[in-house]
Amino acid sequence: MSQHHWIFGYGSLICADSRSRTGVTGEALSVEVEGLERSWNVALDTADLSVVGIRQRKGYCTGGMLFPVEEDQLPLFDAREKEYQRVELASRELRCLDNQALPEGHFWVYLPPEQTSPHPIALSYLDVILHGCLQEGEAFARHFLEFTSDWKTCLDDRQQPLYPRALNPEQQQQWLPKIDSLLAHFNLR
């Protein structure tokens, strides 16, 4: 019997379409992880942009998606998250948001190096995250916006996306009105 592996996605990996552009995954579960704080603290090596990362912090809780992967898919996600280190989470730190039982297996998260970033946030990247959040519901998206720290200026790159897994035009047409409404509500747009 093969080992069951699960990855906790807290940024662009929240979005099923973004995950599918990296590897084969199964049905995702919405979860919270105790002891992690999400923030815009990672500076990309390839561009002057900030992306989300997490840091271990007592008293904090981060929501995201927990999705299954076969062992042979882990290297694909490791390559995608090459600036991060994959570390194992203890099952006691995870809680399913819909009150179902946590599956068995190994739970992984990608931790960035401890850093800060002065760079702006690419709106094309934030759109992907919020698209994934909204597929779980508006409350899930609001939770992301409210409980992510170190917000920066948003750079509107939607016409020429800097993020390689940006929403396609059909997704933009369907999701941007709702995304922009949320961003306006949180004074981020």
Q: Band the pLDDT of 99: cuts 50, 70, 90.
A: confident
Question: How many domains are there within the chain?
Answer: 1
Q: What is the CA radius of gyration of the chain?
A: 16
pLDDT score, position 3: 60
Query: Residue 88 is part of a domain; what is its CATH number?
Result: 3.10.490.10
Average pLDDT of 86-113?
Answer: 93
- Supply the range of the domain harboring residue 34: 5-185
Mean pLDDT computed over every residue of the chain: 93
Average pLDDT of 100-121?
Answer: 92
**Does the structure show a pLDDT above 50 at 44?**
yes
**Does the structure show a pLDDT above 60 at 2?**
no
* Strand, helix or coil for residue 163: coil
pLDDT tens by residue, 75-85: 999 999 998 99
pLDDT score, position 25: 93
Q: Find out whether 105 and 3 touch, Cβ atoms under 8 Å.
A: yes
Q: What is the pTM of this model?
A: 0.94
Residue 7: CB partners within 8 Å, gap ≥ 6? Answer: 13, 25, 66, 67, 69, 77, 108, 109, 110
Backbone φ, ψ for residue 67 (5° rounding): -130, 145
* Strand, helix or coil for residue 172: helix
pLDDT score, position 1: 35
Q: Find out whether 164 and 54 touch, Cβ atoms under 8 Å.
A: no
CA distance 172 to 55: 31
Residue 68: CB partners within 8 Å, gap ≥ 6? Answer: 4, 5, 6, 25, 26, 27, 103, 105
- Counting residues of the chain whose pLDDT is more than 70, the rounded percentage is 98
pLDDT tens by residue, 127-141: 999 999 999 999 999
Average pLDDT of 11-32?
Answer: 95
Provide the 8-state DSSP code for 12: G
